[in-house]
Amino acid sequence: MTIRSVIRGVGSYLPANVVTNEELSKTVDTSDLWIQERTGIKQRHIAADGEMTSDLAIAAGRQAMERAGLTSDDIDLFVVATATPDQTFPATAAKVQAALGRPGVPSFDIQAVCSGFVYGLSVVDNFMKCGQVKSALFIGAETFSRILDWEDRGTCVLFGDGAGAVALTAETGQGSTADRGVLSTHLHSDGTQHDLLYVDGGVSSTQTTGHVRMEGREVFRHAVVNLASTVREALEANDITIDDVDWLVPHQANKRILESTAKKLRISGDKVIVTVDQHANTSAASIPLALATGVDDGRIQTGQLVLMEAMGGGFTWGSALVRM
């Protein structure tokens, strides 16, 4: 018998304000054509003034919980993956917990930037496998617009705001890939690549929030290699092939990265959930937002095998195989 962390409900929230490429090209030297050709992005959602990461997280989290048929009294653990918390402390997860009315149980944030959802899912899964919690609300939420340099066309066109959430419960499985739940997670990081993708500020360095800095072309090159490698690792660990996977739900950074990775893995584009055109890169929120999109439109069904993969600042990267 094996404990499995089963995703019972997914939720999402996107700020109402949609900013198109055309609108961006009025304030920064870019064009809709360049952005679409180089990234596949058509638009992004941007949080309103005063709208915080916790607001996005609470909305997505509440929806995931309700769709799972759970109330906050049922939740044993609140985790938020974010690189853009409301405050340096307390954790954004604590604000979610307070808003949903469940004081007393643990809450904390995970910081692995764009890999935050895969990292957090691994942490939650291990809490469940250890028997420490029986249910969890796990949310990826970001207001990346707050850390963009809106004069840097190389980065400001790439990101957006949003939140996606999963409500999980611990169930008993047989220990095979037929089980529902998280089947395996695979995490990596390489801190020596810091200079290729980072924020040039922080509490202990500049006492400012700082802005995203990125060597896009180099990050792109590493992303395709690392993502294909961590997907293969997940397949091997579970003794399955890419043909067994129903859906690839990748971190959404760039449509060309999604296509190159899919080609390398020999998975049909029809099996890849793509939301980067609508949401841009929402960092830790991008995988659960894509998952919610696939579930909401009926493509992703209970019992199907979903492979998630992500890569981000650190570098961090990783994958997770989940039977829905």
- Least distance to ligand UT7 from the beta carbon of 274, Å? 14
C-alpha 96/C-alpha 170 separation (Å) is 21
Cβ-Cβ contacts under 8 Å for 162 (sequence gap 6 or more): 12, 13, 14, 15, 45, 56, 141, 142, 279, 282, 285, 286, 289
Chain residues 10-49 in contact with ligand UT7, contact rule CB under 6 A: 30, 34-35, 38-39
C-alpha 188/C-alpha 230 separation (Å) is 9
Question: Which member of 104, 192, 207, 217 binds ligand UT7 (CB under 6 A)?
Answer: 217
Is 254 among the residues that bind ligand UT7 (CB under 6 A)? Answer: yes
Is 108 among the residues that bind ligand UT7 (CB under 6 A)? Answer: no
Vertex 279: Cα angle to 273 and 283 (nearest 5): 85
Instruction: Give bridge partners of residue 43 from the DSSP assignment.
Output: 20
Give me the DSSP letters along 49-101: TT--HHHHHHHHHHHHHHHTT--GGG---EEEE-SS-SSSSS-HHHHHHHHHT
Q: Diameter of the chain by CA atoms?
A: 59
Site string for ligand UT7, 114-143 (x = CB under 6 A): x-----------------------------
256, 226, 251, 234: which is closest to 186 by C-alpha? 234
Q: Which is nearer to ligand UT7, 157 or 248 (CB)?
A: 157
Residue 188 a catalytic site member:
no
Residue 281 a catalytic site member:
yes
Other C-beta atoms lying within 10 Å of the C-beta of residue 268? 10
Give the number of residues in contact with ligand UT7, rule: CB under 6 A: 20
Only segment of 133-141, 217-225, 234-242, 269-277 that touches ligand UT7 (CB under 6 A)? 217-225
Look at the block and give the residue holding tokens 């799972």.
68
- Least distance to ligand UT7 from the beta carbon of 22, Å? 13
Question: Which member of 220, 242, 277, 299 binds ligand UT7 (CB under 6 A)?
Answer: 220
Residue nearest to ligand UT7 (CB): 216
Q: Which is nearer to ligand UT7, 95 or 153 (CB)?
A: 153
> Which residues of this chain interact with ligand UT7, rule CB under 6 A?
30, 34-35, 38-39, 114, 153-154, 157, 216-217, 219-220, 223, 253-254, 257, 281, 311-312
Could you list the active site residues?
A: 114, 251, 281
